[in-house]
A and B are shown apart, each in its own frame.
Chain A
């Protein structure tokens, strides 16, 4: 389908509901619709075209356009462009009809916009609180412009979160808010009958850090990449690249080719160590600690490699708008190649061991089923969708960095289950080795040193951009509306867990309690922790470990 086809389809069906359209940048179609026509417009895109829903973004534009805006983002993967439905809400009593009854995946987005901006969505099937803490006062909306980022509203401990009622004959088994195998704060309330899970309720967002608010209010374009990198402890570089791509897109900044290849290498190293970490955690969840120990042992040289390239094991601080801050010297390329080859060899052995392991397959096969239709409804992404035979990968569908010049396959499986997700991740890692090696070849060709296009002029206000970057756990989407003061009006981050996590109730209903942790694990939730620092002298190889006391002494100054 072309953008023109979609425009004529929408125009014909919506009639007066269609208000106009623009193409702010080449891969985007921007369609303004009246609030009363939005449900129909979404229905057309979702049911009559191959559009895939991404996320909805709310934005407080009372200062610039005297309105609240709600943007519903869609992508046409195989045609390589995005479509945005732009809906205006009244600045005084903001209200937009809910689309959750058409697309289940919009559930969280709409609740989030309601929580943070106070835009109401009449017709929403589950209008409970999502993001804000239980004791946060009603009608205080933290993402509105008049709310200062450092403001601390009064606590209202009397407001309790209402969980679903027990279905008759069930008992409650709580998995969370802190549960050993989940590593992070999240709460799945299981309603069980014996070993069988009858229903499940979810409460999360216990660790919401207000990063988007900081992007809107205190940070500048060149600072946000470092904040973006801290969104996730595992796929930080992905968020970093996503944000940089946004600004580069919006302001039309050309990145040097060498920087594109370096970004590609770092993105793939991240995927390699993330998938190795995931496989280990998955093993641990089902009690198979040998997998954990071995995959993490293999992962370690990659972490050291990252440290050698960037100076850090994780949270590299490598990326800036316009390019990267450090070059990968030619002299380092052979070492990277050796490490990658070693890991590839070990990874092939892992593949061999895993694919013939009957007990492993007993635990993973036909568990946590989510099929193609389910993925489409919930807008699921990444290995979850690819294991349901959906060929989607931002690296192919919306090529960025150097991916359009690289030869690799998108791995899919058709078993719809945890086993499929496992296989997809293991095989994908093999593709990553290929990508890194091709990028290294390119680095040997390109001249050293040309790694950044510095931005000299101010980024113009009112520009719009969407970027999609394939993180290890799925596609990561960022949305940007530029503003004055060298910072965005709205920067929205949709990490891959955001659409994948709401699919859990569908996946665990009817399964056994024993399967719940691995099903949740199969979407790959992420975590990070630091307890000490280790300093290595690169020349002598001498290692000194600084303990907690010394660190707190220094940082306390």
Chain B
């Protein structure tokens, strides 16, 4: 019973709090642009509006909106595994399941692109694949490092580790690598290469519109919250000695900092070419590996 409430609560929070974060991010971007920007609640209205539109499908499409449902479901399931306040709502926060779900969500995007039959989508998929193959190892290595340190594959255990045994160098390094990787995980500039609206007009999403598109966008917005949570709960779980509502506020502030950092990198960079991005990501993988090595020697 208790876990059912927790799961429902977490689902609602993921679905309905994440757009607020996106709204803040848009305001922040507007600030850098010298614009007023859209109202804070605009992401909610956008989603509502898209959901109310007709679903226009590519004539080549055989799968229809199926990949969109699967992708959003995978993202939500991944979200349930993320620890909040030290414990996960579902399955103790199984790390392997989480990695599968995140990978599965990007496979769904690729599927949707292939299903559309557009040459732009195919270019986008090729880029998405290259990005996934170089970025997902970062996530994988960072989480393995955490698992090594905590001797557990559960996020719940990982979240407590630094609080109980003090700040660990390898965890901090892995956290930084993960932060660098988030930019691409969330398709933010300079790494929004698979979608690249200037060149590929949305890449895999070119033929997707209306409610189906709303689901993908919602998924992206939720992913933003998930990755920030992973980062602040597992790798930077400092509470600054606060407790109660103040501790919750501190966590919210940390999430905001992560999102704004990602947003800042997004607004001050042009889009890289895929070959340049891959070179950059090999560097990030190396950083993650350094964290792993430190963990192996016990730091």
Q: List A residues at the B interface (Cβ < 8 Å).
A: 171-174, 179-181, 192, 194-195, 283-290, 293-294, 297, 359-360, 362-363, 512-517
Contact = CB atoms under 8 A, between A and B. Distances in A.
B196 A514 contact: yes
A516 B196 CA distance: 12
Nearest to A515: B273
A363 B270 contact: yes
A283 B198 CA distance: 11
B199 A289 contact: no
B118 to A, nearest CB: 10
Given A286-B270, A293-B35, A359 B190 contact: yes
Contact of B276 (A179, A287, A360, A362): A362
A284 B127 CA distance: 20
A294 B199 contact: no
B7 interface: no
B123 A173 contact: yes
Contacts of B269: 287-288, 359
Contact of A286 (B35, B123, B271): B271
A363 B199 contact: no
B35 A287 contact: no
A285 B35 CA distance: 19
Contacts of B33: 289-290, 293-294
Interface in B192-248: 192-193, 196-201
Nearest to B122: A171
11 contacts: A173-B120, A174-B119, A180-B197, A180-B198, A286-B270, A286-B271, A288-B189, A359-B272, A360-B270, A363-B270, A514-B274
A515 B197 CA distance: 13
Main secondary structure of the interface of A (DSSP, over half): helix
B34 interface: yes
Nearest to B193: A514
Given A287-B189, A290-B32, A195 B198 contact: no
* Majority-rule SS of B interface residues: loop
B271 A516 contact: no
Nearest to B34: A297
Residue of A359, A513, A514 most packed against chain B (CB within 10 A): A514
B192 A287 contact: yes
A287 B273 contact: no
Nearest to A297: B34
B123 A181 contact: no
Contact of A195 (B123, B192, B197): B123
Given A172-B119, A290-B33, A297-B34, A359 B270 contact: yes
Q: From A172, A290, A360, A515, name the one whose CB has the most chain B CB atoms within 10 angstroms.
A: A290
B267 A289 contact: yes
A24 to B, nearest CB: 48
B270 A513 contact: no
A287 B274 contact: no
B46 interface: no
Interface centre among B267, B270, B272, B276 (most CB of A within 10 A): B270
A514 B199 contact: yes
B123 A363 contact: no
A30 to B, nearest CB: 47
B268 interface: yes
B92 to A, nearest CB: 40
B50 interface: no
Indicate the member of B122, B199, B267 with the most A CB atoms within 10 Å.
Answer: B199
Contacts of B200: 513
Contacts of B256: none
A299 to B, nearest CB: 12
Interface string B273-289: 11110000000000000
Nearest to A360: B270
A290 B267 contact: yes
B119 A363 contact: no
A363 B190 CA distance: 11
A284 B126 contact: no
Contact of A362 (B120, B198, B201, B272): B272
Given A173-B120, A180-B201, A195-B123, A287 B34 contact: no
Contact of B119 (A173, A180, A284, A517): A173
A512 B275 contact: yes
Contacts of A514: 193, 196, 199, 271, 273-274
B100 to A, nearest CB: 29
B271 A363 contact: yes
A517 B197 CA distance: 11
A360 B271 CA distance: 9
A359 B197 CA distance: 18
A360 B119 CA distance: 27
A362 B269 CA distance: 11
B223 to A, nearest CB: 20
Closest 4 CB pairs of A and B: A287-B271, A293-B33, A288-B270, A286-B270
Contacts of A294: 33-34
B196 to A, nearest CB: 7
A360 B199 CA distance: 17
B268 A290 contact: yes
Interface in B167-208: 189-190, 192-193, 196-201
A368 to B, nearest CB: 13
Contacts of B197: 180, 287
B119 A171 contact: yes
Contacts of B273: 362-363, 512, 514-515
A195 B129 CA distance: 13
Interface in B18-36: 32-35
